[in-house]
Amino acid sequence: MRIMGLDFGSKTVGVAVSDALLITAQGVEIIRRKSPNKLRQTLARIDELKEMYEADKIVLGFPKNMNNTQGERCEKTLEFKEMLEKRTGLEVVLWDERLTTVAADRAMSEGGIRGEDRKNYVDKLAATFILQGYLDFLHNQKID
């Protein structure tokens, strides 16, 4: 069993997958699209990746506001979740993604990646942080 993590943005989707033991998350790619509303190719690529990595579940970052309210991005993410479930046939779990992009940017800064180069990696790294958070949660559930 593997789990796929997604960081859904207005023009990109960062993708990560877990290892078979559900311990670690690895960034896979960033799916880019020309228009925020053109999702058919994005969904098709996610479906291909699901097959390639034999994913059984998808964890989708849910971009709540810092005060825990849901804004316009949450609405778009809920719509995307519905499309993902129809296209892939998999369960899609929403996961609070507050500060994952900030954490990804900070990690790259500390790693010496220049500011202009970070945009090439930030979504994939954010997807990795989203998925790793979920995997850690699952692991902690088993321990308690």
CATH number of the domain bearing residue 104: 3.30.420.140
Query: Considering the entire predicted model, what is its pTM?
Result: 0.85
Total domains in the chain come to 1
Using one digit for the tens of pLDDT, what is the confidence trace for 20-44? Answer: 999 999 999 999 998 877 899 999 9
Res 100: pLDDT: 65
More confident residue, 31 or 115: 31
Identify the residue whose tokens are 């998808």.
Answer: 58
Closest among 42, 29, 32 to 11, alpha carbons compared: 32
The rounded distance, in Å, linking the Cα atoms of 96 and 17 is 17
Using one digit for the tens of pLDDT, what is the confidence trace for 69-98? Answer: 777 888 999 999 999 999 999 999 999 886
Domain that holds residue 16: 2-143
Contact (Cβ atoms closer than 8 angstroms) between residue 56 and residue 3: yes
Res 122: pLDDT: 74
